[in-house]
Amino acid sequence: MSNSVVLAAFFAFLNVLFMFAGFHAVEIPLLAVAALFALVGLRKPGVPESERQGRVVAVLSIVLAALPLFKPLADSLILARMQAVRAKQTAPMYTALDAAAKGLADSVQEYRDAVGFYPMMFGDTALPQYARDGTLIEPPADLVLPAIPADPFETSRDLQIYSVGELGAMIVSAGQDGVSEFPRPDVILPIDGQPSDPLAPYALAGVDLRRITYDPTNGALGNGDIVRWQGPPESSWDETMKPLWDAWDAVDSLTPPPPDDDRELDHPLPEDDALTAESLLADGQYLGALAAASRAVQNRRVHENFWTIPQLKKADLIRAKALYHLGHYRTGADYVIDYLQNSPNDAEAHYWLGKMLYLGGRPTEARRHFAASFELDPKGPFAAQATDAWSALKANRTPHFEMPDIVRRERNLPAPEQNSPQVQQNQPPMIDSLD
C-alpha cells in the first residue's frame, strides 16, 4: 500500500477516536484530510501486488472517517426505539395514575371547599391546616378524607398530595425511575394569622421543582417525579407556579454556574448563591432571595467552617428576611434564632427577630430583642426603629416598622422609600430590667 493509503487509514482511525472522546469540532477537518489521502491512494494504491488491497483500505478509510457524521442519526434511531419500548411498558402505569388522580379530584376539592385550603397528605393522614387567625382548622366530622392509592410507578409507596394553600394541590408520583425526589416542605401554612405566600414553602426547599419533575419533552425515557395538578378549573400548574419559576429564572440569571474544574458539583457554589440571594433581597424579589439562600444553606460544604465566609454567614438571616416579607413569621424567627446561635451580638438580627416575634404573636419576647438590638449597637442603622418598637410595646401600643411586602401588596400600598433611619438618643432600659 502507498503512504497515502496508510495516512488515510490513520486519520480515519483518529477521527473515530475523537468521536468517542467527544471532540466533535475536529470531525469535519479530519474527514477532509482522510478523504484527501484516500483519493490520492485510489489513484496510486501502491505496488501492483497490493494495488487491490490499497484501494479497499482507501475506500474503508473514507467510510470510517465519515462515521462521526452518521453517529447522531444512529443514536436518534436507537433512542426512538428505546422510547417506544419504554412507552409501551409504562402506558398501563400512566393510565392508572390518571385514573387515580381523577378519582382523588372530587375528594380534594371537597376538602378545599370545607376547610379553605387544599389538603397536604402523606398516606391517609392530612397535615394540620391553620386559619389566618392562627387557629387550627378542624375538618367537619362528616368530611371523608380521600383514600390515597398506591403509586403505580412504585407500588411500595402511596401517591402524595402537596398543598399550595388556597391555589391548588399537586398529586405526585415517583415517576419512571421509582425514586421520590419531590422535597417535602418544612412549613406548609403559617400559623401567624396573617396573609402569606403559599409558594414560599417550595422556594424554601432550595430546589427548582422543574429540575426534579418529569418533562414530557424528554420523551418516554424522562426521569423525575410526575405531577398531576388539582385546582380550580381556570388554573393550571404552570400558571399557579409561575411566580416560583420566575424566581428561579432570576436566581439562575445572576448566579455563576459551577466551576469547570469541579465536575462532581452539579449546583452553583453556595457563596455565589448567597450573593445572589442578597442581591435579590435588596431588589425586593423575595421569593427568589428565599430560593437562592435556601440552596446556599443546603449546599454548604461540611468540611469548611462556613462562618468564616461572609457570604454564607448571613444566608440564614437573608432567608429569614425573605420569609418575613412573604408572611411566614414564625418560620423566619426560627432561622434568625439559628443564626444568632453563632452570631449572638448581631444587632440587625435581633431587630428582625423582634419584628417576626411580634407578628408571630409573641410581643414580650419581641420587646427583649428590640432592646438587645439597641444595646448592641446604639448608634447603628436599626437603633431608632428598635427604640420606637420597644417603647410602643412597653406602652401597650402597636409598634410601627417596615410592613411585610405581602401585606403591602394585599393593601395595594406603594413600596416604602429607602431612607436611612435616624438614630434616636432616648435609650430603652437594659434587658435585665425588663419585666
CA distance 33 to 31: 6
Q: Model confidence at 425, in pLDDT bands (50, 70, 90)?
A: very low
- Residue 69 above 80 pLDDT? no
The domain locations on the chain are 3-89, 344-435
Instruction: Tell me what percent of the chain is helix, strand and coil, each rounded to the nearest 5.
Output: 55, 5, 40
**Three-state DSSP class for residue 8:** helix
3-state secondary structure 212-256: CECCHHHCCCCCCEEEEEECCCCCCHHHHHHHHHHHHHHHHHHCC
Given a cut of 80, whether residue 214 has pLDDT beyond it is yes
Listed range (104-108, 267-271, 298-302, 360-364) with the worst mean pLDDT: 298-302
The band of 403, judged by pLDDT with boundaries at 50, 70 and 90, is confident
Can you give the pLDDT at residue 377?
Answer: 94
Concatenated DSSP letters of 257-299: PPPTT-TT--S--HHHHHHHHHHHHHTT-HHHHHHHHHHHHHT
At residue 374, the pLDDT reads: 94
Greater pLDDT, 406 or 259? 406
CA atoms of 207 and 212, how far apart (whole Å):
8
| pLDDT top residue among 359 and 313 | 359
What is the residue whose three cell numbers read 393550571? 236
Does 55 or 197 have the greater pLDDT score?
Answer: 197
pLDDT band, residue 292 (cuts 50/70/90): very high
The answer to whether 237 and 227 are in contact (CB under 8 A) is yes
Where does residue 206 fall: left (phi above 0), alpha (psi -120 to 50 degrees), or beta otherwise? left
Confidence of residue 196 (pLDDT cuts 50, 70, 90): confident
DSSP lists the bridge partners of residue 161 as 121, 171
Report the share of the chain in percent with pLDDT over 90. 32
**pLDDT, tens only, 136-169:** 666 667 777 778 899 999 888 889 888 888 899 9
Please say whether the dihedral angle defined by the alpha carbons of residues 90, 94, 99 and 103, taken in this order, is positive or negative.
Answer: positive
Distances (CA, A) of 228 to 91, 115, 125, 173: 16, 21, 19, 8
What pLDDT, on the 0 to 100 scale, is given for residue 316? 87
d(CA 357, CA 362): 5
For 73-136, give the DSSP string.
HHHHHHHHHHHHHHHHHHHHHHHHHHHHHHHHHHHHHHHHHHHSS---EETTEEPP-B-TTSPB
Lowest mean pLDDT among 116-130, 246-260, 313-327, 328-342: 116-130
Three-state SS at 401: coil
Specify the DSSP class assigned to residue 58.
H
C-alpha cell at 10: 490513520
How many residues can be counted in the chain?
435
Residue 431: pLDDT band with limits 50, 70, 90 = very low
> Does the pLDDT value for residue 93 go beyond 50?
yes
3-class DSSP assignment, residue 154: strand
Residues 336, 51: Cα–Cα separation, whole Å: 83
Question: pLDDT band at residue 252, thresholds of 50, 70 and 90?
Answer: very high
pLDDT of residue 257: 81
Is the pLDDT confidence value at 432 over 90? no
Mean of pLDDT values over 286-313: 79
Percent of the chain with pLDDT over 70: 75
Q: What is the pLDDT of residues 253-271, one digit of tens each?
A: 999 887 765 555 667 888 8
Mean pLDDT of the chain: 80
Residues 294, 185: contact at Cβ < 8 Å? no
Alpha-carbon distance of 234 to 211, in angstroms, equals: 25
Top mean pLDDT of 38-52, 107-121, 256-270 is at: 107-121
Question: Which of the pair, 285 or 89, is modelled with greater confidence?
Answer: 285
Res. 103: pLDDT tops 50? yes
111-125, 300-314, 390-404, range with the lowest pLDDT = 300-314
